[in-house]
Amino acid sequence: MKNLNHGDNSPNVNRNNKDSMFSSLFSSPDILRELYSAIEGIPIPKDIPIEINTLSGVLFKGKINDLSFTIDNRLVVLIEHQSTINNNVPLRLLIYIARVYEKIINMNKVYQTKLEKIPFPEFIVLYNGKNKYPEYKEIKLSSAFKGIEGLKLTDTIPLELTAKVYNINQGHNSEILKKCKTLENYSIFIEKIREYLKRRLSLDKAVRNTIKYCKKKNILKKYLQEHSSEVFNMLFTEWNWDDALEVAREEGREDGMDQEKLIIAKNLLEKGSTSEFVHEITGLSLEEIETLLR
């Protein structure tokens, strides 16, 4: 990715009212340019085109992955933002990248004899959860492979995918945060919410106070002025969703997805979410949700 030089191309940004705050905040080519340059330490000139191709679907928040974009049509980057590290992320990214390639290349050319050149893939995970995590770690797809002792014919791994995980909490990877002001401000924003929550404020008040504080301190000020209500709704949804998932995990249920959905739904309802909201998030019918309210 060094010395790239091409004409300008201004892609349309795919905005979605069910974005997470993170994907909404980083939904412009210029900010993605800043983010990628900070992570990789490689400046991307402004005349190098960046095209966003994040996948849409029917999963939570209406998106399948957080961020996907190509740089000069030579590099395709998938970025996941996580508050809990999921060791299955390489497998998910494998599925994502296959679908991204389907989207950005002419699939008819796959069947021609001439080699079809495709953008080089890169997989990045940005972690800002509450649990301790190293500055940097790599998670590999091969860690998930079942043992096939006695059947393995070669020492070569036929399929590998490496996800590079960076801790973006305050006090970690300061050089990256310093080079990408948007990422640094996002990290400060999340840390401030946690600070208010530690003071035993409700999530509602913690988010509202953080928005006021950051506007006053010129932290994401313009973004918050334009999207305050959206940010509140996105964060309220995300944090309640994460809490609900954590409760489901702590329950240790082995009864399958439906049971997990019921636990999540119950937790969301206890936090004051409407039946319609719970239906949209979990996919449970309104009748099933009504039984939880009785």
Residue 8 is assigned to a structural domain of this protein: no
- What is the number of domains present in the chain? 2
Read off the tokens for 280: 């949209």
Determine the average pLDDT of the residues in 107-122: 92
Residue 4 is assigned to a structural domain of this protein: no
Residues 130 and 268 both lie in one domain: no
**Banded pLDDT at 48 (limits 50, 70, 90):** very high
Residues 130 and 190 both lie in one domain: yes
Residue 73 confidence (pLDDT) above 50: yes
Distance (Å, whole) CA 57 – CA 79: 17
Give the tens place of pLDDT for each residue, 141-198. Answer: 999 998 777 776 667 888 999 999 999 999 999 999 999 999 999 999 999 999 998 9
Angle at 71 between CA 135 and CA 1, to 5 degrees: 70
Residue 1 confidence (pLDDT) above 60: no
Distance (Å, whole) CA 126 – CA 47: 26
Residues 113 and 242 both lie in one domain: yes
Residues 241 and 285 both lie in one domain: no
Residue 2 is assigned to a structural domain of this protein: no
Residue 14 confidence (pLDDT) above 70: no
Q: Return the minimum-mean-pLDDT range out of 110-114, 228-232, 272-276.
A: 272-276
Give the tens place of pLDDT for each residue, 88-104. Answer: 899 989 999 999 999 89
**Banded pLDDT at 265 (limits 50, 70, 90):** confident
Domain that holds residue 292: 252-294
Residues 205 and 257 both lie in one domain: no
**Banded pLDDT at 277 (limits 50, 70, 90):** confident
